Amino acid sequence: MKTSPLILLPLVVLSIAGVAAKKVEPAKSVQGVYTQIVTDMDGKPAPLSAYAGKVAMIVNTASRCGFTPQYEGLQALQAKYRDKGFVVLGFPSNDFMWQEPGSNSEIKLFCQKNYKVDFPLFNKDHVKGSEKQALYKYLTEGPQAEFHGEIGWNFEKFLIGRDGRIVGRYKSGIAPDDGKLTGAIEAELGKAG
């Protein structure tokens, strides 16, 4: 029995329509802090877009500071919230009383040995003044004026929402386990990504 081409035509049209009806997920747009490119501890470019869609805490660090024990609390935050989409991003700096004199490899070893740090650490660089790295220029002088102002000391923290916008800034004296900070992290993690 021969099948007429006119009978097959509706089947072809239906199958093409089925392909066209498939939902295509839009690509996530990278915004805010996540547009920045920093340098990793090996001297290679590290686009922060790798963390887009996560809640992040950006913190300037030092190994010989009264706040250095905050590494332990930062690592605890990383461990507690990692599976929920949170990451700590550490940026060593020697800008405050020369409290981070080590090389990148020395800093990394110090953090792993003393605090079991496994969150990302980046190239030691300036976080204040005329030589501050582009990320910190964005954080302290960028489009969100409510967060403007120079970094005051080591271990100042910026909380970044999933969309790359700054949602909080916390001075060095605010410990990683402070309820104000953990509450803000949990609120951001509760928002849709």
Q: Give the end-to-end CA distance of the chain in Å, rounded to a whole number.
A: 56
Looking at the annotation, which residues are catalytic? 65
Structure tokens at 4: 């007429």
18-37 as b/e: b if 16+ CB within 10 A: eeeeeeeeeeeebebbbebe
Structure tokens at 168: 């909080």
Quick check: helix, strand or coil at residue 86? strand
Distance between CA atoms of 79 and 33, rounded to whole angstroms? 23
Helices (H), the chain: 5-20, 70-81, 104-115, 134-141, 179-189
Structure tokens at 5: 């081409």
CB 53: neighbour CB atoms within 10 A? 14
Q: Which of 90, 39, 87, 92 is nearest to 65 (CA)?
A: 92
